[in-house]
Amino acid sequence: MKKEKSRNSRRAMKAHQNKVTMIGITFVVCVLMVTLLVQGQKLNAKLSSNQQRTSELEQQIENENQRTEDISEMQEYMQSDEYLEKVAKDKLGLVKDGEIIFKESN
């Protein structure tokens, strides 16, 4: 009878220990799941922010490419005879042979 009580008591103790272990494991798994969810949300927010930044930078690149194109066109124009004539007339007051300049009087 004493042996049987001792066995039952060991079994009960082992069963209790197994329950505590399972509860501990379940708790650890839950903590890990919550941690993964929080980190996932942070990564999604960061990804969204990076996508927005990428979009802004692509727009800036497009604007700078357009500006470069405009500068190239202006450079070509400034090397033309038309531009030289305009500057000579406007800034230096020069005229072509046979041209007459009319000025307004105040």
pLDDT tens per residue, range 83-94: 988 888 888 777
* Of the candidate ranges 3-7, 23-27, 45-49, the one whose mean pLDDT is the lowest: 3-7
Q: What number of helices (H) and strands (E) belong to the chain? A: 2, 0
Specify whether the CB–CB gap between 83 and 77 falls below 8 A: yes
Assign 4 a pLDDT band (cuts: 50, 70, 90): low
**Local structure of residue 80 (DSSP, 8 states):** S
Average pLDDT over residues 56-60: 97
pLDDT at position 99 over 80: no
Task: State the chain's mean pLDDT as an integer.
Answer: 89
pTM, rounded to two decimals:
0.53
pLDDT for 94 equals 76
